[in-house]
C-alpha cells in the first residue's frame, strides 16, 4: 500500500490562513459577530470557511493559482456589487481570482452579504417583522436582542439593503 501524501504544504496552509484572517477582519470591521465564522484547512485542495455552520467560502492559495470560491447561487451578489466577472466551475462554485489582501478588502461587501445570507439561513423560519419595526426603522438596523428573532426577520434584510419602509428615515415614498 502506498504511503499517504501530506494534505498540504506549509506555504499553502499559511497563505490560506492569511486570506481567512483577512476575510474575518472584513466581517469584524462591518460590526458582525466573527465568532460564528469557522474554518477547516484539513482539505487537500483548499480551506473551507463556514458561517453559522454553513460552508460558503473556499480558499485556495497554491504556488500557481490563488482564488476563493462561493456557491454559484450567490452569483447575484457579484452583480449587486458590480464585482468582476468570474468563472463557474463544474462543481457549482464560482471562482474569484485573488492575489493578496487588497483583493480581499475589495471583496468585503461580498463577504458581508454571504455572512448575512448564512445568518438568515441559519434561522430556519422567516417572518415579515416583529413589533419593533418602528424602532428598527429609526435606527436603520435591526435592534432585536434575540438572535433567533433577528435571524428570521425579513425586514432586517431590507434594512441592511437600505430599504426603510417606516418612520422618519423611510426611503420608500408612498
What's the rounded Cα separation, in Å, for the pair 9 and 12? 5
What's the rounded Cα separation, in Å, for the pair 157 and 150? 10
List 38's β-bridge partners, or say none.
50
**End-to-end C-alpha distance for the chain, whole angstroms:** 73
Residue 12 has pLDDT above 80, yes or no: no
Q: Which of 168, 164, 55 is nearest to 118 (CA)?
A: 55
Cβ within 8 Å of residue 78, ≥6 positions away: 84, 85, 86, 94, 96, 110
> So where are the chain's domains?
10-121, 123-174
Whole-structure pTM value: 0.70
Can you give the length of the chain in residues?
Answer: 174
**DSSP code string of 104-139:** HHHTHHHHHHHHHHHHHHTT---BS--TTHHHHHHH
**Whether the Cβ atoms of residue 23 and residue 104 lie closer than 8 Å to each other:** yes
**DSSP code string of 151-162:** HHBHHHHHHHTT
Cα distances (angstroms) measured from residue 153 to each of 21, 121, 124: 29, 11, 11
pLDDT at site 151: 77
- Identify the CATH assignment for 10-121 out of 3.90.1150, 1.10.4030, 1.10.3710, 1.50.10: 3.90.1150
Give residue-wise pLDDT tens across range 46-102: 899 999 999 999 999 888 888 999 998 888 887 777 776 676 676 889 888 888 878
Q: Which of 13, 50, 31, 19 is nearest to 141 (CA)?
A: 31
pLDDT band at 9 (very low <50, low <70, confident <90, very high): low
Residue 8 has pLDDT above 70, yes or no: no
Amino acid at each position: 500500500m502506498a504511503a499517504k501524501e501530506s494534505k498540504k504544504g506549509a506555504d499553502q496552509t499559511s497563505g490560506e490562513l492569511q486570506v481567512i484572517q483577512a476575510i474575518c477582519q472584513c466581517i469584524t470591521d462591518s460590526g458582525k459577530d466573527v465568532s460564528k465564522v469557522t474554518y477547516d484547512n484539513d482539505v487537500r485542495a483548499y480551506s473551507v470557511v463556514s458561517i453559522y455552520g454553513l460552508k460558503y467560502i473556499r480558499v485556495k492559495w497554491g504556488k500557481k493559482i490563488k482564488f476563493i470560491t462561493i456557491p454559484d447561487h450567490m452569483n447575484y451578489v457579484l452583480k449587486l456589487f458590480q464585482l468582476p466577472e468570474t468563472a463557474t466551475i463544474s462543481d457549482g462554485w464560482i471562482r474569484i481570482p485573488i492575489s493578496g489582501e487588497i483583493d480581499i478588502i475589495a471583496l468585503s461587501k461580498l463577504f458581508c452579504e454571504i455572512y448575512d445570507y448564512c445568518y438568515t439561513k441559519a434561522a430556519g423560519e422567516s417572518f415579515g417583522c416583529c413589533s419593533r419595526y418602528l424602532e428598527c426603522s429609526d435606527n436603520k438596523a435591526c435592534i432585536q436582542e434575540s438572535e433567533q428573532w433577528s435571524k428570521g426577520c425579513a425586514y432586517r434584510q431590507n434594512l441592511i439593503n437600505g430599504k426603510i419602509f417606516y418612520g422618519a428615515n423611510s426611503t420608500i415614498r408612498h
